[in-house]
Amino acid sequence: MSEDVQTEEPQVEKRAFQTEVQQLLHLLVHSLYTQKEIFLRELISNASDALDKIHHRSLTDRHILDPNAELDIEIEVSSSNKTLTIRDRGIGMTRDEVENNIGTIARSGSAEFAKQLAEAGDEQEKLKLIGQFGVGFYSVFMVADRVVLTTRSADPDAEAVLWESTGDGTYTLAHADEAARGTAIKIYIRSDCEEFLDAHRLEAIIRKHSDFVSYPIKVAGKQVNDTAALWTRPRNEITAEQYREFYTHLTGDPDEPLAHEHVIVDVPIQFYAVLYIPKHAPTPWLSHSEPKISLNLHVKRVFIQDDCKDLLPLWLRFVRGVVDCDDLPLNVSRETLQQNPIIAKIRATLVRRIIGMIEGMAKRDQEQYLTCWRTYGAVLKEGVAMDVEHQGALAKLLRFHSSLADDADAYVSLQTYIDRMQSEQEKIYYLAGESKESIAQSPLLETFRKRSLEVLYLDEPVDEWVVHGLQKFADKEFQAIDAADLDLGADAAEVQLAGVDQEQKAATIELISFLKKQLDGRVADVIESKRLTDSPCVLVSPQGGLSQNMERLMKLADREFKGHLRLLEINPKHEIIRNMAAVLKRDRDSTQLEHWAHFLVDFVLLGEGTVENPQRLSQSLQSIMGAATARAAEEG
Ligand code: ADP
């Protein structure tokens, strides 16, 4: 190494942090007060990750610096200098890596993160965001005046690097004289944070937050943690608090998960798993265009990868946790993991156990289960629609809004539906639509309400695929109530009424033939309704056609998609229909009748929230109002 002064100086480079990092640092230093101790968890977690990486690499690659270094984390306190140093013999960083990892938030959405952090309400919320976005390292500035990071990469040719910052806007990078592999972070503790120079305090924090780190953590030479991986320990020796802390350690989410499941299997293959259902799902993570499976895979305690997509079906992508298998070779690669029969067996067990965990929640605690359902229901429904093997079990977990619910937010399970359906009822009735509000106002529900027949509201796009996939539940078929051929059988009262007025009957037939002509191209047919009581008309789907909602979804996906025309059913007993029939009888050429004819269709579409031609509707309304106001003016 040259001692030349000329080359020594320019090696110290001063750099500005990425803007987002500056904002983040400001917020960390100025807005998080009570939870400062988490900086230690974050740094230990980084050290542990660095040890995982070198451990894994050393299994196949001996061409690394210090191949025999002990894999541990050492913490030293200097009371006189008021410094705390955290050192690991992990994979270390090259100069470029330091710059990319520590000077920037190397993730898309970092600006978004800073924005959310600024808007976050309380500390808990902020901590959660910090966990989610993984800005762990910077949390050190909650307790530090100055941080000096020395690191040397495991690449034998890389030089050691010294990074230093006071957490204002800038940092410096320089060459360091360090022979050994790994990273040391020297923290100059702020005067108001001197509690973190107390070894007992540090030990307590480590036991609380980092007990399950699988490498020895030593404070002043003494090991503090229990390195036996949590998942290998017997279930009855692990406290609820430890399961919770382990979850936070894995995910960065400080919120308690909804449920956990500890799997220990010996035969036919030996593996362990700890699985969690988080309380909140980050939205981009669920609806992401390339969704991931976020389980950490270990082989014989060695971390292998954190996104093994073969471990779970995509409809369980909200589950977090670890899996550790003793029967896989340590040098498995991503490629060989695919189609590995052992992974397939693990997956089958995990799916069964997770469904069991969710069923347990549904039995134990309704409220908690509904939290789970509101968050992950749409994802679970993908499973019902696509995974025939688990369809039966998943169908029992489905929840829907319904016409018989006491309040609009209540849910019903298919089993409850079956349990309370009427003795002579043959089918499970449903109506699909854009929202539960638009479904609830549909005239199609009238006769069902009158007869106290329950109708499920299918208000999510995937719902119709779900009932089509299931076809039946408990031997009862699903039946859309907007099907033209739906026959409920007439009520006695309705039959009586039907025969009463021959004159009115003739007028209705006239009106129907008039409407057919007027509405040609808008509806497939016009017929007399057997199901309406309070509404003038309704649109129903032709026999064998897609439901209206399905067509709506098809149109969203494909602008060119031309759906089937629906049938207009009119209610001859309704005032509007009777009046129209009377006007028609008197004056076949009434221009108002033409408007009214179209308005019958628009009226239904308006309720569904899908008016196809707002201009025409607006004109219809104008003409109707014109006539009404003229009449009112004459009367006055
Ligand atoms: P995260 O750990 O969520 O990625 P951090 O801000 O804590 O976010 O760390 C950023 C990156 O810096 C890490 O992903 C890692 O690549 C690198 N890093 C941090 N600490 C260490 C360390 N002790 N050894 C090696 N690399 C580290």
Hey, whose CA ends up nearest to atom 3 of ligand 1? 134
Predicted local distance difference test score (pLDDT) of residue 289: 66
Residue 99: strand, helix, or coil: helix
If pLDDT is split at 50, 70 and 90, which confidence band does 105 have? low
CA distance 260 to 240: 10
Would you identify the CATH topology of the domain 398-480?
Answer: Rossmann fold (3.40.50)
Asked if the domains at 5-227 and 398-480 fall in one CATH topology, the answer is no
Helix (H, G, I), strand (E, B) or coil at 385: helix
pLDDT at 621 over 60: yes
pLDDT of residue 459: 92
* Minimum mean pLDDT range among 213-217, 304-308, 554-558, 589-593: 554-558
Q: Whose CA is nearest to atom 13 of ligand 1?
A: 101
CA distance 376 to 279: 10
C-alpha of residue 381 to centroid of ligand 1, in Å: 37
**Over 50: is that where the pLDDT of 435 sits?**
yes
When comparing pLDDT for 291 and 348, which is higher?
348
Expressed in angstroms, the distance from the first to the final Cα of the chain is: 105
Give per-residue pLDDT as tens, 303-360.
888 888 899 999 999 999 999 999 988 777 777 777 789 999 999 999 999 999 999 9
CATH top-level class of 231-368: alpha beta
pLDDT of residue 2: 41
Kindly state the average pLDDT of the residues 442-455. 91
Out of 74-88, 387-401, 488-502, which region has the weakest mean confidence (pLDDT)?
488-502
User: Whose C-alpha lies nearest to ligand 1, atom 1?
Assistant: 134
3-state DSSP call for residue 93? coil
How does residue 19 score in pLDDT terms, banded at 50, 70 and 90?
Answer: confident
Decide whether any atom of ligand 1 lies within 6 Å of the 46 Cβ. yes
Output the CA 343–ligand 1 centroid distance in Å.
29
- Whether residue 544 has pLDDT greater than 70: no
Cβ of 542 below 6 Å from ligand 1: no
Residue 150 beta carbon below 6 angstroms from any ligand 1 atom: no
Confidence (pLDDT) at 551? 76
- The Å distance, Cα 277 to ligand 1 centre, comes to 26
The residue extents of the domains of the chain are 5-227, 231-368, 398-480, 490-635
pLDDT of 8 above 50: no
Cβ(171)–Cβ(100) below 8 Å: no
CB-ligand 1 contact for 306 (6 Å cutoff) = no
The DSSP code for 212 is T
Domain 490-635 sits in CATH 1.20.120.790: yes
Q: Where does the pLDDT of residue 541 fall: very low under 50, low under 70, confident under 90, or very high at 90 and above? A: confident
Asked if pLDDT for residue 34 goes beyond 90, the answer is no
Atom of ligand 1 nearest to the CA of 105: 6
What pTM, to 2 d.p., does this model score?
A: 0.73
pLDDT computed for residue 1 by the predictor = 42
Report helix angle 575-586 to 502-518, nearest 10: 80
DSSP element (H, E) containing 622:
helix 614-635
pLDDT number for residue 133? 61
What pLDDT score does 135 carry? Answer: 61
Please name the residue ranges forming H helices in 168-225.
199-209
Residue nearest to atom 14 of ligand 1 (CA): 101
- Across residues 409-422, what is the average pLDDT? 93
Per-residue pLDDT tens digits for 231-285: 999 999 999 999 998 998 888 788 899 999 999 999 889 999 999 999 988 655 5
pLDDT confidence band for 111 (50 / 70 / 90): low
**If you take atom 19 of ligand 1, which residue's CA is the nearest one?**
46
Q: What integer is the mean pLDDT of 481-508?
A: 70
Label residue 4 by pLDDT band (50, 70, 90): very low
Task: Give the integer Cα–Cα distance in Å for 69 and 57.
Answer: 13
pLDDT for 131 equals 60
Q: Percentages helix, strand, coil for the chain, rounded to the nearest 5?
A: 45, 20, 35
Q: Which has more pLDDT, 610 or 159?
A: 159
Q: Which CATH class is domain 5-227?
A: alpha beta
pLDDT digit string, tens, across residues 502-524: 888 889 999 999 999 999 999 99
Tell which wins on pLDDT, 222 or 530: 222
Looking at residues 183-207, what average pLDDT do you find? 95
| 3-state secondary structure at position 118 | helix
**In the predicted model, what is the mean pLDDT of residues 50-54?**
94
Q: Where are the alpha helices (DSSP H) in 64-191?
A: 95-102, 110-119, 123-133
Q: Grade residue 6 by pLDDT with cuts at 50, 70 and 90.
A: very low
Read off the pLDDT band of 212 (50, 70, 90). Answer: confident
